[in-house]
Amino acid sequence: METVPSPAATPPALERVLPYIISGTSAAISAVSAISHFTGFLISKATSSFLAFSPLPIIFYFLAPAFVFFEIATDVFLRFPYQVALYLLDAFYPIYVFCGVACITGALVGVTGRLVAGLLVDLSQGAYWMTPTPAPAPATPVAPVAVKKEKRVRRRRIRH
């Protein structure tokens, strides 16, 4: 008697390919990392001689007071008011939420009260919506009336 291997004994295709996928991904990541480091090294070597003879440090040295002034100005006119506004908005947020909920609740209670009061008034006066309303009477044409405009007499002043 010969034994036949069962189909469940062979591992799935994903299990066989998974180690290759993991090692390939790892190799690709390390290659990209090495290339980026080498490119950074080349760029730093190429620009180091340029920066050694560059006039930028001298220009930055002379413009340092302007940089400090603009930094202080942005602190005073932009960053500080922004931080104050954030603090105040954060501090008043509970009051804002409370007033918003109070207004919405007040509107709902008011509308509900108005509807209930109108319904009670209608019920106390009888169910008038059950009776048919009479048709409006036809309008009779009215002839326009001519109005005579009176002339006003101006009084003259007498000069003495």
104-138 pLDDT, tens digit per residue, is: 999 999 999 999 999 998 888 875 555 666 677 77
Run of H or E residues at 132: none
- Per-domain residue ranges for the chain? 16-54, 58-129
What pLDDT does residue 7 have? Answer: 58
User: Residue 87 is encoded by which pair of tokens?
Assistant: 């603090």
Type and span of the H or E element at 96 = helix 80-125
pLDDT interval class at 53 (50, 70, 90): confident
In this structure, what are the phi and psi dihedrals at residue 98, rounded to the nearest 5 degrees?
Answer: -60, -45
Give the model's pLDDT for residue 124.
84
Sign of the CA dihedral with 57 first, then 58, 64, and 70 last = negative
**Buried/exposed code over 14-23 (b: 16+ C-beta within 10 A; e: otherwise):** eeeeeeeeee
The whole-number pLDDT of residue 114 equals: 97
**pTM tops 0.85, yes or no:** no
Is 158's pLDDT higher than 80?
Answer: no
pLDDT at 73: 96
For residues 83, 86, 88 and 92, what is the CA-based torsion angle, rounded to 10 degrees? -170
Is pLDDT at 54 greater than 90 in this prediction?
no
Report the pLDDT value the prediction gives residue 4, as an integer from 0 to 100.
60
Q: Categorize the per-residue pLDDT at 101 as very low, low, confident or very high, splitting at 50, 70 and 90.
A: very high
